[in-house]
Amino acid sequence: MKKIKKSLVGTVLHIGKPFESHDGVSLNNRFMCIFSVESDHLMLMPMSAFHSKEQKNQRLNGIVNFEYSKKHGNTCDAYIKCNQIYVLRNEDFNNFDEIKLSRKINKEHFEKLQNHVKNLQKDSKNKFFKTVVNFKDLPRTIKKEQINKRKFDDYER
């Protein structure tokens, strides 16, 4: 199994495989920021796009959110939810086609994100959620190993 590289920190990845959020909601097609690498795990923070100017103002007024928009090098206006950490196992990162690296966050902006999270952690009023990414076992999502063992004609994507 390939070891996770520390250089992935600050990278955005896309998870196209369904998994459950910290509050029990089914998530799919989510972009996540790789905040840190600990042992054989990626520590991820979820990202969400703004759908209106009103929503943007509302979300950025929340202290736990951190802006990551076009002006910072993102492909759309979005934010990172700094009070949620999702733990992704190295095995899952390496074995699923539905997990793809997308882009790297600008180094200066990522350092601002790290400082923002440190400041949030200092305040005991902020509530943090840590959740292990558990993928739902659906027939349309198949591990890479299984794909390689199947005949091409048997596999439809």
How many Å apart are CA 21 and CA 135, to the nearest integer?
A: 10
pLDDT in tens, the chain (157 residues): 666 677 889 999 999 999 888 888 888 899 999 999 998 899 999 999 999 999 999 999 988 999 999 888 889 999 999 999 999 998 889 888 899 999 999 999 999 999 999 999 888 788 889 989 988 664 443 333 333 333 333 322 2
Q: Which of 38, 29, 127, 46 is nearest to 85 (CA)?
A: 46
What predicted TM-score, i.e. pTM, was given to this entire model? Answer: 0.81
How many Å apart are CA 119 and CA 115, to the nearest integer?
A: 6
**Does residue 20 lie within any of the structural domains?**
yes
Q: Which of 78, 81, 82, 90 is nearest to 132 (CA)?
A: 90
**Does residue 1 lie within any of the structural domains?**
no
Domain range spanning residue 118? Answer: 6-154
CB 94 within 8 A of CB 57: no
Q: Residue 1: what pLDDT?
A: 60
How many Å apart are CA 147 and CA 157, to the nearest integer?
A: 10
**Does residue 102 lie within any of the structural domains?**
yes
How many Å apart are CA 81 and CA 131, to the nearest integer?
A: 13
**Does residue 128 lie within any of the structural domains?**
yes
Collapsing DSSP to helix, strand or coil, 79 comes out as strand
Our count of domains for the chain comes to 1
Q: Residue 137: what pLDDT?
A: 61
CB 119 within 8 A of CB 82: no
Collapsing DSSP to helix, strand or coil, 89 comes out as strand
CATH, residue 23: 2.30.30.110
**Does residue 107 lie within any of the structural domains?**
yes
